[in-house]
Chain A
């Protein structure tokens, strides 16, 4: 009874937009056209036949998988670092410092990295000074570098969530397991492989899926750094949808790509929920 008002508001806010997006995807150009015609699945056929859509899907796949791997590797390493048995003050300092990327909004992160990776920015200056490059690179403007730069920014922004999740997992690993492994003769890597990883496995799977779902739909970071460019080299499904809707004003096609994002995200969500149910 107490939940009813909340449930009503939530379901209304969720179901009406969902229904409208799906409805729009079945009409010809809605909003712009005052009397749109029902066209069935024509928009889907058109979108699926468009190479730009497949390019965006492939980029989304690269961006998502690359980001999740980056988050995992950096997040796990840093979680182990801040779980180390060192001076408590230093530990608190590092934990606070390393969580900072998470508390910035995407806009701030994007602007900061744009400045850092600017051809006249600190990164280029440092690399030149160290002798790694002879002339400044246009990190976000070069088609060969743009996706890598985007992955760098996405990894920087996303690792704290993994770090915090794994840190709580690491802290629940009994200390005796490490001691037993040490007595058994396991070195650092063997202890990580035989004790840490198996103990973190349930957390890793759940957290990776959650990260996958979030990164798959990520929009502001891409839009505010590369804007999907240069050309379409970093165009992902979310930026494509935005471009179709608010640049090209093709709201029906935008709704269609949005529905495909929804379907793919829903599949990941089902996997995540299944994993959570199994864990319980």
Chain B
């Protein structure tokens, strides 16, 4: 186990700069997830930590060593790749034993280590098979086994679950988390899937266009996004973000040419971006007296219903802007239905209309 420090990391390809001074500190044993859309630089950062990409500027420190000039094998890392990168001509056992064989570890020791790890990952019955005879999930487990056998200081995962189907992805997510709880290794994990990031990470680093937008615990990132990008990226379905205006201590949500919801809000006059998560839009029960007295109540027409099992997502328009709300899965909702909703304004977010930065 080792801490990792990434200091002012820069990556340039000829004249194009793709990473603009990344700073991340990862404590020993911490599970850090780099998340962001395609092209944000998360995989490049990981590959620079691994030594598979050269460092244009800045430093990568693993443990107490600056590893900029060290070869991948000297950095004490193991990596799990998106497409597993298992050696097709070798059996599962040989794949797992390969690095130890190259390090001239005695045969008996290799056997002991491979057996130990294969028992943890339930790979025993597969040891004599070749990667081509395994399912995606099994291959992923072998790739993890190959990494664990090396007993590295740091594990690097590069979108390891992207090639799996949704069900297997959920299952493997649990396996990876369980494994981390058991081995307590330092992990840097790259994904574009915010659900994966939220469920796995001790700490999330949200990246965009080669810079870090925000880093913190999953709770901090989800509940305290620093700007519209983080607010919109984290959460599924994503936060409703709507251009609005504040005047005389009141916020009017949406476009003034359409029916708006107006609420009291102590913000300077001007344009703001109002954000609210679908979970904080309540569908009111028509019969309840409490509902009729509810503040910030609005009557809207449902334009689309997405049943996702335990809940139903309903789309509607407010102030001429599209919104998504979340209702209980048992509720009977249909397109065209008129319903009363309430926006829980205490969970509303306000961002600068120009810069997108959070207004607190």
- The judgment on whether A and B are partners is yes
Binding site for B on A (CB under 8 A): 174, 176-177, 179-186, 190, 194-195, 198-199, 201
Partner of B72, one of A182, A195, A201: A182
A179-B72, A183-B50 known, 18 other contacts, Cβ within 8 Å: A174-B83, A174-B85, A177-B85, A179-B52, A179-B85, A180-B79, A180-B87, A180-B146, A181-B87, A182-B71, A182-B73, A183-B51, A183-B72, A184-B102, A184-B150, A186-B102, A195-B87, A198-B88
Q: How far is the CA of A138 from the CA of B70 in the complex (A)?
A: 53
Does B78 interact with chain A (Cβ within 8 Å)? yes
Given known A176-B81, A194-B98, contact A182–B52 (CB-CB < 8 A): yes
13 A-B pairs with CB atoms under 8 Å apart are A176-B82, A176-B85, A180-B86, A180-B146, A181-B98, A182-B52, A182-B71, A183-B72, A184-B99, A184-B150, A185-B73, A185-B99, A185-B102
Contact B87 A190 (CB under 8 A): no
Partner of A184, one of B50, B88, B89, B98: B98
A197 and chain B: residue at smallest CB distance: B89
Does B1 interact with chain A (Cβ within 8 Å)? no
Given known A180-B79, A180-B81, A183-B79, contact A198–B102 (CB-CB < 8 A): no
For the complex, count residues of B whose C-beta is within 8 A of A. Answer: 24
Q: How far is the CA of A206 from the CA of B333 in the complex (A)?
A: 64
Given known A194-B87, A198-B88, contact A184–B73 (CB-CB < 8 A): yes
Q: How far is the CA of A195 from the CA of B94 in the complex (A)?
A: 13
Does B144 interact with chain A (Cβ within 8 Å)? no
Given known A174-B83, A183-B50, contact A201–B89 (CB-CB < 8 A): yes
- With a cutoff of 8 Å between Cβ atoms, the chain B residues found around residue A195 in the complex are 87
Q: How far is the CA of A183 from the CA of B150 in the complex (A)?
A: 10
Q: How far is the CA of A199 from the CA of B51 in the complex (A)?
A: 24
Query: Interface digits, B80-116 against A, CB 8 Å rule (1 contact, 0 not)?
Result: 0111011111100000001100110000000000000
Min C-beta distance of A173 to chain B, whole Å: 10
Does B188 interact with chain A (Cβ within 8 Å)? no
Contact A183 B77 (CB under 8 A): yes
- With a cutoff of 8 Å between Cβ atoms, the chain B residues found around residue A184 in the complex are 73, 98-99, 102, 146, 150
Q: How far is the CA of A179 from the CA of B103 in the complex (A)?
A: 17
Contact B102 A180 (CB under 8 A): no
- With a cutoff of 8 Å between Cβ atoms, the chain A residues found around residue B81 in the complex are 176, 179-180
Q: How far is the CA of A177 from the CA of B87 in the complex (A)?
A: 7
- With a cutoff of 8 Å between Cβ atoms, the chain B residues found around residue A199 in the complex are 88-89
Min C-beta distance of A135 to chain B, whole Å: 50
- With a cutoff of 8 Å between Cβ atoms, the chain A residues found around residue B89 in the complex are 198-199, 201
- With a cutoff of 8 Å between Cβ atoms, the chain B residues found around residue A201 in the complex are 89
- With a cutoff of 8 Å between Cβ atoms, the chain B residues found around residue A183 in the complex are 50-52, 72-73, 77-79, 99
- With a cutoff of 8 Å between Cβ atoms, the chain A residues found around residue B73 in the complex are 182-185
- With a cutoff of 8 Å between Cβ atoms, the chain B residues found around residue A180 in the complex are 79, 81, 85-87, 146
A177 and chain B: residue at smallest CB distance: B85
B94 and chain A: residue at smallest CB distance: A194
- With a cutoff of 8 Å between Cβ atoms, the chain A residues found around residue B87 in the complex are 177, 180-181, 194-195, 198
- With a cutoff of 8 Å between Cβ atoms, the chain B residues found around residue A185 in the complex are 73, 99, 102-103
- With a cutoff of 8 Å between Cβ atoms, the chain B residues found around residue A182 in the complex are 52, 71-73
- With a cutoff of 8 Å between Cβ atoms, the chain A residues found around residue B103 in the complex are 185
Min C-beta distance of B269 to chain A, whole Å: 55
Min C-beta distance of B153 to chain A, whole Å: 13
- With a cutoff of 8 Å between Cβ atoms, the chain A residues found around residue B51 in the complex are 183
Min C-beta distance of B194 to chain A, whole Å: 25
- With a cutoff of 8 Å between Cβ atoms, the chain B residues found around residue A198 in the complex are 87-90
Cβ-closest 7 pairs across A and B: A198-B89, A176-B85, A185-B73, A184-B99, A180-B85, A185-B102, A183-B72
- With a cutoff of 8 Å between Cβ atoms, the chain A residues found around residue B77 in the complex are 183
Min C-beta distance of A181 to chain B, whole Å: 8
- With a cutoff of 8 Å between Cβ atoms, the chain A residues found around residue B150 in the complex are 184
Instruction: Name, among B50, B82, B85, B102, the residue most crowded by chain A CB atoms within 10 Å (CB to CB).
Output: B85
